[in-house]
Structure 1
Amino acid sequence: MTDTPQTAVESADPVTDPEPVAGTPGASSVMLLGSGELSRELALAFQRLGAEVIAVDRYADAPAHGVADRPVVAKMNDAEELTALIEKENPRYVVAEGGVIAADALIAVAERGVAEVLPTPRSTRLSLDREGLRRLAADELGLPTAPFWFAGSPEELSAVVQHAGFPLVVKPIASAAGEGESVLVRAEDVEPAWQRAVAAGRIPHNRVMVESVVEIDFEVTLLTIRTVGPTGPAVHFCEPIGHRQADGDALESWQPQRLAPAALDAAKSIAARIVNSLGGRGVFGVELLVRGDEVYFDNVRPRPHDSGLVTLRSQRLSQFDLHARAILGLPVDTIMISPAAAGIVYAGAEARPASGRDPHAVLAEALAVAESDVALFNRPDETEDRRRLAVAMATAPDPIVARDRARRVTAALRRLW
C-alpha cells in the first residue's frame, strides 16, 4: 500500500524578514544537545547526509556517543559551560534534542550569530514549560484546548478543584509524557497529586497544570515538518499517528490513524499555526485530542519523539531523516509506504536482564511474527527518567493487523527483563 505524499502548505504567517536557508551538507557540522537513543538515530541520519556530528550529554557513554564523530560530556543546563563549548567546537548547527538545556545560552548564541540554533531557542525553552506553551497555544493563537488552570500551591490546587469540579488531571510543568500525572476524583487526591507532580522531572517546579477531562475518541501525533526554501517557509504533514499509553511501561503507536475529513483539516490547521509560531526548521510532533470532527491541541515537541518511531517502518523517510533534511535545507517527502505499528517498552533505572532467559530464543520468537522488526537499547539512556528498553515494530496491509503483530512482538520482548 502506498500513499501519496502530503502536499506542502505555505506558511500563512507574513514573513517580514527572510529566514536563512541552509547550504549544502558537505561542510556542515551539527552539535546535538542530548545524546539518548533518539539522538543516536538522528546522528546517523545526519551522517548519511555528509554532516559531522558532535554529540553532547551530561554523562559519558550515552547512546549517541557511540556513533558520533565527537562525543562530549558537558553540563547542558549550565549556560556558561554550554556557551563556551559551542564557541570552542564552532558547529554550523546546534540542535536541541533532549534533557535540560540552558535556553538563555542558546538565545545568546543565536543572537550573536555564533551558530544556527534549531528548531529555535524559543521552542527549546517552551518544550520545558507547559504553562508558557499552553498560554501561547490558547491565549495567543486561539487554538482549541481542554479547559486548563495553573496552581502554585496545594491550596491553589484545591481552589481549582472547587471551581472546576471532578475529574481533573494534574500535570507537572516540565516532564516526560505521563510522568508525574494524576487524575483527581475526590478531595483526598489533591495533596498526593501535588506532591507527585512537583517531584517529577529534572527541573524543580512549585507549579502544576490542571486540565478538565475531555471525552475523546483517540489521541494522535501529527508529525509536522517545517522547511524554508527559496519561496519561504512551508509545512509538510505525515499521515496521522495514533498513540496510547498501553500500560505503565509501554507506549503503542500506529500509522495511519484515520480521521474524518473535517477533523484532518482541523488537525493540519492547528499544527501549522503552532509550528509556524515556533518557527525554525525541523520535525515537530504535534499531539492532538480528537472527538468526531472536533480536534484539541494538547502538546508539541520540537523534535522526533517516541510515538514517531513507527516511521522507521511506515515511511520512506523516517522522522529522523526528515528532521535532518529539514535542518540541512534539503528536500523532504512524507510518503507512507506501509501501515505499521510500534510498541516501546520502558523501565526505570533498576531494570536488569532476566536471569535464566536465552536472549537469542526470545528474539527468535519475537521475529517469528510476520513483517516484524525489533531494536534493543543496550547503552545507558539517561535522557528521560524512565529508560527505553526496546522498540517492537511490524507492518501489515492494515493498521489493525500491524498493531496486533507489534503487540505480539512486544509481549515476547518483555521476557528479556
Structure 2
Amino acid sequence: MSESTEGDAQTDPGESTSPPQRSTVMLLGSGELSRELALAFQRLGADVIAVDRYADAPAHGVADRSAVVKMTDAEELTALIGKEKPRYVVTEAGLIAADALIAVAERGDVEVFPTPRSTRLSVDREGLRRLAANELGLPTAPFWFAGSVEELTAVAQHAGYPLVVKPIAAAPGEGESVLVRPEDVEPAWQRAVAAGRIPHNRVMAESVVEVDVEVTLLTVRTTGPTGPAVHFCEPIGHRQADGNVLESWQPQQLSPAALGIAKSIAARIVNSLGGRGVFGVELLVRGDEVYFDNVRPRPYDSGLVTLRSQRLSEFELHARAILGLSVDTIMISPAAAEVTYAAAEAATAESAVDTTAALADALAVAESDVRLFGRPDESETRRRLGVALATAPDPIVARDRARRVSAALRRLW
C-alpha cells in the first residue's frame, strides 16, 4: 500500500483541482435597487461588477468590483465590457449606449439582459406605446403624441378635456399634468419637456380613463430546454399617495376575467421584448376591463413589496431567471410597502431626531420591516429615502401597518 505525506497528495487524473467557475455579472447602473440585485446574484455564486457614471454608488459598496464610466459613451462602455469579459451584462438604468449593448449581444459570447431593444424602449414611451397598441393590438387608453405647444393644443381640441400630458421619458408621475382647460396646455408642455434626464421635444397626451385600481403584474420570463416560459406573481396594487410616497400592496384582487386578460397582455408584451428576467407590467383595471399602461424590464419600486410577500423577491427572481435557474412565484403572506422619495438634488438634512428611537417606533408595528437608504442615488431623478414594509393576514391590515411604519420613519426626513 502506498503512503502519501503532506505536500504529496495524490490526485485522481479525472478530478479537477481548480475551483468551480463562477459566472460574472456586470450591472450597468448601481443605485439602491441594483444593490439588492447584486446581493441576489452573489448569493447564487456570481461575481458582480457594479458600474455607474459616479463613484461610491450604492451597489459599489457590496459588489466584488466596481467601475465608473460614462454609460452613454458607446466606446467607453464597449472597452470596459471587453476588459472585464463578463458572462452577463444586466442593465439597471435606462440611460445606456444602446449601440454598445447591441454590438456586445451580437458577438454571442456575452448575454445582455434586458435585451437592447427593451432597454431602449424603457426610456421611450412613444416607441413602447406604439409597439403595444399598433403592433401587438393591446388595449390602451386613447393616446396622441405632440412635438410642439401648437400640436398639443390641436390634440386637446380634438380629444377634449380632461387630458393627461406625460414626458416621453421620466420617472412615474414626474413632469405629468392634467389639462382641464385650454390655458393649461402651455404650462403642461413646459413641465413635460423639462422632466427626466433625457431632453425630449415630444410629449404623450392620454385620455383620462376611470379605473378601479392601478396594478403591476410582475412577469418572469425564463428559457429552458422546452423554450421560453412566463410566470406570474400575484397582482400588486399601487398608487401614488402623494408626490413623495408610492404605496403598493399584494395581492390585489381582480375578477377572474380581468386576471385572465391581465396575464394575456403581460405575456404578449414580455414575449415581444424577449430575454430573461423580471418585467413589471403596469395595467389599469376597471371591472373586467384591463388596459396596458407601461412595462419596466427590471425590478422596480412597486415590486418592493415582494421583499416580504413572496418566497423569492423580485430581485431573487430576476437573478435566477438571468442565470438560467428555476423560479417560483409563491406568495407567502399578504403585504404592503410605502416608498418615500426626495428630489435628487435635495441635500440630506442633518436631523435632530434619534434614528434608533424612530426605528424602534417603526418596528414596534406588528410584522413590520424597513429599508433605509443612506447614500444618494444619482441614477434616479427621485432619490429613495426608505421603504416601510409590513405583512398581515390580509392586504387591508398590511396597508394600515405599512402606513404607520412609514409615518414613524418620516420623522427622520
Q: 152, 156, 160: which one pairs with 2:155?
A: 160
Q: 31, 48, 53: which one pairs with 2:48?
A: 53
Residue of structure 2 in register with 1:192 after alignment: 187
| Distance verdict in 2 for CA 1:409–1:26, change over 3 Å | farther
**Is the contact between residue 55 and residue 65 of structure 1 (CA under 8 Å) also seen in structure 2?**
yes
Partner AA of 1:386 in structure 2: R
How big is the shift at 1:26?
4.7
Compute the RMSD of aligned alpha carbons.
Answer: 1.0
Q: Distance in 1 between matches of 2:169 and 2:80?
A: 25
Residue of structure 2 in register with 1:356 after alignment: 352
How big is the shift at 1:114?
4.3
Q: 261, 268, 285: which one pairs with 2:263?
A: 268
How big is the shift at 1:184?
0.5
> Structure 1 stretches (4+) deviating beyond 4 angstroms?
none
Where do 1:21-40 residues align within 5 Å?
26-40=21-35
Q: Deviations over 1:143-200 (max 9, x none)?
A: 0000000000000000100100100011110111111111111111111111111111
Residue of structure 2 in register with 1:203 after alignment: 198
Residue of structure 2 in register with 1:69 after alignment: 64
TM-score (ref. length: structure 1): 0.93
Residue of structure 2 in register with 1:96 after alignment: 91
Where do 1:322-337 residues align within 5 Å?
322-337=317-332
The unaligned stretches of length 5 or more in structure 1 are 1-24
Q: Deviations over 1:11-33 (max 9, x none)?
A: xxxxxxxxxxxxxx952100000
How big is the shift at 1:354?
5.2
SS in 1 for 2:155: helix
Q: Please tell me whether residue 111 in structure 1 is matched to residue 110 in structure 2.
A: no
**Is the contact between residue 94 and residue 120 of structure 2 (CA under 8 Å) also seen in structure 1?**
no
Residue of structure 2 in register with 1:393 after alignment: 389
Give the greater-gyration-radius structure (CA).
Answer: 2
How big is the shift at 1:351?
4.3
Greater shift, 244-253 or 356-365, is seen at 356-365
Where do 1:204-283 residues align within 5 Å?
204-283=199-278
Residue of structure 1 in register with 2:378 after alignment: 382
Q: Distance in 1 between matches of 2:330 and 2:21?
A: 26
Residue of structure 1 in register with 2:338 after alignment: 343
TM-score (ref. length: structure 2): 0.94
Q: Distance in 2 between matches of 1:69 and 1:232?
A: 32
Partner AA of 1:171 in structure 2: K
Partner AA of 1:407 in structure 2: R
| Distance verdict in 2 for CA 1:31–1:113, change over 3 Å | same
Q: Distance in 2 between matches of 1:67 and 1:355?
A: 26
Partner AA of 2:67 in structure 1: V
